[in-house]
Structure 1
Amino acid sequence: MIKSLRLQDGRLYPATQQPAQVLWCSKPDVGDHDWLRLHFRLDEHAVASALDPDEVSRIEFHPDSLFLIWKRPQSYSGQDNFSFDVSSFGLLLRDDCLLLICNDDQPLSGLGRREMMNGPMDVLLDLLFNNIHHYLGHLKVIKMVARELQQKFNSSLENRHLLQMFNLSESLVYYINALHSNGAVLTRLRNHAEKKHYSSDCLGLIDDMIIENNQCYKQAEIYSTVFAGLMDARGNLVNNSTNNLLRKLTLINVVFLPLNLVAGIGGMSEYSMMTAPLPWWWSYTALIVAMLGMGAAMVWGLRRMARAS
């Protein structure tokens, strides 16, 4: 589906007639592919790259246009089991229009952070600037989710929370790769803008985006390192808790197995035959007292062995 948008008074509005400054192609079908090839000379490889979520960010310069692939964070929902994903979309910039190719309606959400957009280049920069702030917002959410998981983990020590922390750590790895490749695109775009003698405001905005993208990259890198260390520590904590539980169960077995043996012997008819001259309450009282004394002696011995080790 192809939508047309026009620039008026620094803002984007739906356009019903051609030409339009911004063309938005979401979920292109076979007819849209033919239209893109006819009007923009985009081959199947370029369109497939724009729609491939695993495509690496890159920028290509042509005599009358530039084409770039940009990595963006996908909208997060609580049903994703704390998984933050990234995807790709393509942009083709000409002097008279900007073409967006994507798989959903997300890229233009929140567009219009700048006060005035006078041309397709302004729309492109505003779109990239908005995506960088989207990354920053997701990193804040990741930090809040990590704190919540830490509290749950400290109270329950369930493997489910450890798996959720693993999902967060994996998402940060994807964010780091996306931000690194986006930074390379911004650097090349800055060099191209300088060669083409773009305005100082445009160059300044690209410089600001490079700085904020680098800060976002460093922040994601720090979070990833911290989460990796915390996951190792929490994994060791779970193993230590399991070892302590098994140790306690082993001590219980060591104490009660001999007592079960003595109780089994005392419950047989031979014991009654051996203690026939004594009243039954004396013999069985002596058996119970002997079992309690044996259990206390084994507990005392095991405690001394634990302190000695």
Structure 2
Amino acid sequence: MSQSRFYSISPKGKMESFNSAEELISNHKNESYLWFDYYNPSSKELSTLIEPLSLHPLTIEDCTDENFVPKIEEYPNNSFMIFNAYTYEQKELYIDEVDFIIGKNYLVTVSGYNSNGRKPLNGIEKVVEREIENAKHGASHLLHIILDYIVDKKFVSIEKLEDELDEAEDILLSELEKFQAQDIILTRRHLLALRKSLFHEREILVKICRKDCPFISEKAIFHFRDIYDHLSKFFELTESYREIVSSLLEMNVSMMNNILTKSANQTNLSVRRLTLISTIFMPLTLLAGIGGMSEWSMMSGPENWKVSYPLFIFGMIIIGSLNYLLIKYLEKRD
């Protein structure tokens, strides 16, 4: 079953639904304007609008293209623009395309193309019904309502990214071993995608507010300036978040280096201790080797071993003590 919706909106605020585009066009009244809300349409479905709405074939091609980069293009009888809708779920950012074709008395919205079941404009008809006092003034006011809805959803995704950055910072400061640098790198990639999208969308709003789009009424331009302000703030937020990501990665490297330095210092201390012990016992080992061959009993006579061996052990203690004191003195002097 098709999920596309078709409406006629009168100047009195009456919103009438139709089953197909053909039915909507055939029942069109001069004082009303038309809203064609397509979800995941085929090129064939959209092509049926070329003749009755005087659409350029390139607009149909752009609606089914996989290029998600926002843009605005002017044609003799309408304006075409691409906007992006964001969805952030399970640490993955999804950017979906939403296309708009606005003419003198109609608005065409196309969403859901290559969106894997996501619905960027889900529930938009209820939003329009709530804002019918604004929507009844024309297609440009309806365009503002839909763009404002998309921009509000952008903020939800951006807030989720901010929460993840705050969580990553807390983990970095409290439990360094649980910090996942790859997650932060992925977040940086998402921020780059957001920055690219917001930059082009902001340019679209600049052109609208500059009155470069003839199908946007002058009364509606004031509303679009509010959307421009939101997009500018979001763009600045992405710049700030990118700086935070860079700081977190630098902090992680610095703290890991501190841990490695501490470990290296502990290893050096252990090696120094072993070196000290070896240095002290090297001459003692030599003397023990000589004493073990009974040299002392040969020099002092076998009958004097009770005296010679205690003196030998005492001498080893004196030599070991002198070695220890000499090493400590040299360390202090260095």
Q: For residues 203 and 172 of structure 1, do their structure 2 counterparts lie closer, same or farther at Cα, with a shift above 3 Å needed?
A: same
Q: Which residue of 1 aligns with 2:264?
A: 246
- Superposed CA deviations along residues 267-292 of structure 1, whole A, max 9, x for unmatched, are xx95883589699xx97xx89xx69x
Q: Which residue of 1 aligns with 2:31?
A: none
Q: How does 1:13-28 map to 2 (within 5 A)?
A: 15-17=18-20, 18-19=23-24, 21-26=35-40, 28=41
Q: Which residue of 2 aligns with 1:168?
A: 187
Shift in Å, 1:188: 1.5
Question: Could you tell me which of 143, 148, 162 is aligned with 1:124?
Answer: 143
| Cα distance in 2 for residues equivalent to 1:11 and 1:250 | 83
- Does 151-160 or 4-13 show the bigger shift? 4-13
| SS of equivalent residue, structure 1 residue 103 | coil
Q: Which residue of 1 aligns with 2:222?
A: 204
Question: Could you tell me which of 74, 81, 101 is aligned with 1:61?
Answer: 74
Q: For residues 189 and 299 of structure 1, do their structure 2 counterparts lie closer, same or farther at Cα, with a shift above 3 Å needed?
A: farther
Asked if residue 86 in structure 1 is aligned to residue 98 in structure 2, the reply is no
- Superposed CA deviations along residues 119-156 of structure 1, whole A, max 9, x for unmatched, are 54333222211222223223332222222111111122
- Superposed CA deviations along residues 49-80 of structure 1, whole A, max 9, x for unmatched, are 3x33xx3211011122211111232x222x32
| Cα distance in 2 for residues equivalent to 1:62 and 1:195 | 10
What amino acid sits opposite 2:259 in the alignment? Answer: S
Q: How does 1:1-309 map to 2 (within 5 A)?
A: 3-6=4-7, 15-17=18-20, 18-19=23-24, 21-26=35-40, 28=41, 32-40=42-50, 41-43=56-58, 45-49=61-65, 51-52=66-67, 55-73=68-86, 75-77=87-89, 79-80=90-91, 83-94=92-103, 95-101=105-111, 102-104=113-115, 105-109=118-122, 111=124, 112=127, 115-116=131-132, 117-118=135-136, 119-158=138-177, 160-192=179-211, 195-196=214-215, 198-200=217-219, 202-256=220-274, 259=277, 273=292
| Cα distance in 2 for residues equivalent to 1:14 and 1:261 | 96
Greater Rg by CA: 2
TM-score, with length taken from structure 2: 0.68
| Cα distance in 2 for residues equivalent to 1:263 and 1:5 | 96
Shift in Å, 1:247: 2.2
What amino acid sits opposite 1:36 in the alignment? Answer: L
Contact preservation (8 Å) 1:22, 1:120 = no
| SS of equivalent residue, structure 2 residue 84 | strand
| SS of equivalent residue, structure 1 residue 76 | strand
What amino acid sits opposite 2:251 in the alignment? Answer: A
Q: How many residues of Structure 1 are paired with residues of Structure 2 in the alignment?
A: 287
| Cα distance in 1 for residues equivalent to 2:123 and 2:245 | 30
Q: Relative contact order: is structure 1 or structure 2 higher (C-alpha 8 Å, sep ≥ 6)?
A: 1
> Which runs of 5 or more residues in structure 2 are unaligned?
25-33, 51-55, 297-304
Percent same amino acid among aligned pairs?
Answer: 12
Shift in Å, 1:182: 0.3
Contact preservation (8 Å) 1:7, 1:13 = yes
